[in-house]
């Protein structure tokens, strides 16, 4: 009809958390990769708290990856059960990696993302990693204190997880928790916005 502009419905991206740094990370990532993923589309983010199925602070990349994947899979189940039109499912998990370096324990913090679509295709992405101070690492690894509680005590503050995160404390504000998840998300979404690179060799056109 004249004078009426029809707009396509938004692409709904479900995130397995309602925490602000995680939701902000998804928004920031979509600002960058959205035009490659679906040019001219509008994205809408839906946060839903789901269980990761792992410890509050996972240790080892396998547990961190599992937590991220569990969150995305929980969202997919909710979408099926409630008949929701979510098109992407995002799980985010921060965890520690323990490495032996010259006979000494070194502990790193890294952020992981798992992104799946409604067809069940999915991929992982990881941020970079930052080394934890020895005292902070010992509190989490040896004393089994969650990183969220340990970093508050370490920095003599409260609510760091919902602000700049341990990343922000350790980098003096140069990289926030949101930033670390944003990097992981850009990597995980590559399966979808750069799909030709992830196709089977026979399906790719080498002339492109």
- For residue 2, is it within any domain? no
pLDDT band at 200 (very low <50, low <70, confident <90, very high): confident
- For residue 63, is it within any domain? yes
- For residue 133, is it within any domain? yes
Check whether 204 has a pLDDT greater than 70.
no
Q: Which domain holds residue 19?
A: 11-195
- Give the pLDDT score at 73: 98
Q: How many domains does the chain have?
A: 1
What is the spatial distance between Cα 119 and Cα 102, in angstroms, rounded to a whole number?
45
CATH code: domain of residue 92: 3.90.950.10
- For residue 207, is it within any domain? no
- For residue 200, is it within any domain? no
Mean pLDDT for the chain overall? 93
Pairing of strands 88-101, 43-47: unpaired
**What distances in angstroms separate CA 101 from CA 104, 105, 106, 107, 108, one per listed residue?**
5, 6, 6, 10, 12
- Nearest 10 degrees: Cα torsion 27, 31, 37, 38: 100
pLDDT in tens, 87-142: 999 999 999 999 998 899 999 999 999 999 999 999 999 999 999 999 999 999 99
Question: Does pTM surpass 0.85?
Answer: yes
């Amino acid at each position: 009809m004249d004078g009426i502009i029809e707009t396509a419905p938004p692409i709904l991206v479900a995130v397995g958390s309602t925490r602000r740094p995680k939701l902000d990370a998804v928004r920031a990532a979509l600002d960058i990769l959205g035009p490659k993923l679906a040019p001219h589309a509008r994205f809408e983010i839906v946060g839903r708290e789901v269980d990761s199925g792992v410890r509050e602070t996972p240790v080892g990349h396998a547990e961190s990856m599992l937590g991220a994947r569990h969150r995305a899979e929980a969202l997919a189940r909710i979408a099926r059960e409630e008949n929701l039109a979510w098109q992407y499912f995002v799980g985010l998990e921060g965890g520690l990696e323990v490495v032996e370096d010259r006979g000494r324990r070194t502990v790193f913090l890294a952020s992981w993302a798992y992104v799946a679509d409604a067809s069940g295709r999915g991929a992982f992405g990881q941020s970079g990693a930052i080394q934890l101070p020895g005292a902070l690492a010992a509190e989490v690894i040896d004393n089994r204190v969650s990183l969220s509680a340990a970093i508050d005590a370490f920095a003599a503050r409260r609510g760091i997880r919902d602000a700049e995160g341990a990343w922000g404390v350790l980098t003096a504000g140069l990289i926030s928790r949101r930033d670390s998840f944003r990097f992981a998300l850009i990597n995980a979404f590559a399966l979808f916005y750069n799909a030709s690179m992830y196709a089977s060799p026979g399906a790719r056109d080498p002339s492109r």
